[in-house]
Amino acid sequence: IEKLLIANRGEIACRILQTCKRMGISTVAVYSDIEQNALFVKLADEAIHIGPPSAADSYLRGDKIIEAAKRVGADAIHPGYGFLSENAEFARKVVNSGIIFIGPTSESILTIGDKIEAKNLLAKHLPSVHLIPGYNGDSQNLDVLIHESKKIGFPVLLKASAGGGGKGMRIVHEESKLKEAIELVKSESLQSFGSDRILIEKYFESIRHVEVQLIGDNYGNVYHCFERDCSVQRRHQKIIEETPSPILDQDLRQNMIDAAIKIGKLLKYTSAGTIEFIVDIKENKYYFLEMNTRLQVEHPITEFITGLDLVELQILVSQGKSNHGHSIECRLYSEDPYNNFLPSIGKILYFKPSLAPNVRYDTGVETGSEISVYYDPLITKISVWASTRNQALQKMRLALQNTVCLGLVTNQQFLLQVMNDPSFISGKYDTNFI
């Protein structure tokens, strides 16, 4: 990926821009009439106007966004969160346009994004995952919904099947309020999400909202990045999050993480995603709530405790990279590689490592140290890490070029020669390489 368009605005657009800049990826912002001077527009390398202030006429116009990406030659589109980030049809159209969608496949979004379909899927394939007692059947007949609510027992929670962000939800404590509440939730759901399908769940009076962060790659691996506690909410929307959750014991935490990973593997999930659970405090038991197939608003606290950059991982996964990056080590010896690797003994007159980031030196010498005939002539191990092998090779070249070791014959130039050798660069070498 050399150029990435951000199909979003505000804080999350700025956040994605930071990672792209660090990775050397050119960025494109899209903006509405009233945001031509917004910070995210100023920070981007390019910016394209896509419509009036109304989101329906700008940030939700997938056709305009894809056309903008084509116009500037963007390799990829990052949807951020909200807007089109969990729109399976948009993801499909992006990919069909020959552009990389930074996120899961449209199939994954479609399969798990709808709350009713998600519950049906888990009930069939992962019965060990606890589901909230309730109704998620096909019939949306008013009489059926009333009957099922009474079977579950009040209070119940009515939820838009395609909903999120706290919209399309009502708690109903008594039967007399049920009909009106159902009609309100259906209306709000249709207006906000384009579907009036709802599900009904048992409402727990005292719960915690805890979610597990997942990252899946293209090789069947699904990793967890621990949990976040998102229980401080207003109108069913989070306002304070923390990690780790202060109420989970180790057994419950591990059980929830195991369940989340099973769900991710069932979906063959790629990119960042979050499995949300509720925890019944009285029973110390968890229940699957939903999966968000995107980067979460609250992802920074996970990055703090893990040291990971989740946006970078999303970008790497979308390019077919693994989640671990690539690391290379070179051993700097006091020896002459052009004279049968004959050891060189004597005093190190000056030694100075490179100060570049993600470069590590493991050494037992300093300026003035002696390399004797009695011991192994290792001066230092130089290790580097980068997101990809090519980037790691480049970082090692720079590290070797900026390492200073005077007074002895070393294999420094030989190591640089290897880093530039076409066979080594291709990865097609064997033990007869040298």
Q: Helices in 210-298 by DSSP H: which ranges?
A: 250-266
132 DSSP 8-state letter? -
Cβ–Cβ < 8 Å for 34, 57: no
Containing H/E element for 327?
strand 326-333
Q: Helices in 114-157 by DSSP H: which ranges?
A: 115-125, 142-152
Q: Which stretches does DSSP call E strand in 129-184?
A: 134-135, 156-160, 169-172
Instruction: Give the position of tokens 């969990």.
Output: 86
DSSP secondary structure string for all residues of 381-413: EEEEEESSHHHHHHHHHHHHHT-EEESS--SHH
Q: Which stretches does DSSP call E strand in 52-181?
A: 76-78, 100-101, 134-135, 156-160, 169-172
CA–CA dist 61, 368 (Å, integer): 66
175 DSSP 8-state letter? G
Point out the residues that are catalytic. 294
Cβ–Cβ < 8 Å for 240, 232: yes
- Beta carbons within 10 angstroms of residue 248's beta carbon: 20
Strand partners for 106: none
Q: Which two tokens stand for residue 357?
A: 């980031």
Q: Which two tokens stand for residue 232?
A: 């401080």
CA–CA dist 67, 62 (Å, integer): 8
Query: Which whole-number Å values give the CA distances from 19 to 15, 26, 136, 368, in the listed order?
Result: 7, 11, 40, 41
CA–CA dist 65, 85 (Å, integer): 12
CA–CA dist 294, 7 (Å, integer): 13
CA–CA dist 241, 251 (Å, integer): 21
Q: What's the count of helices (H) and strands (E) in the chain, helices before strands?
A: 14, 23
204 DSSP 8-state letter? P
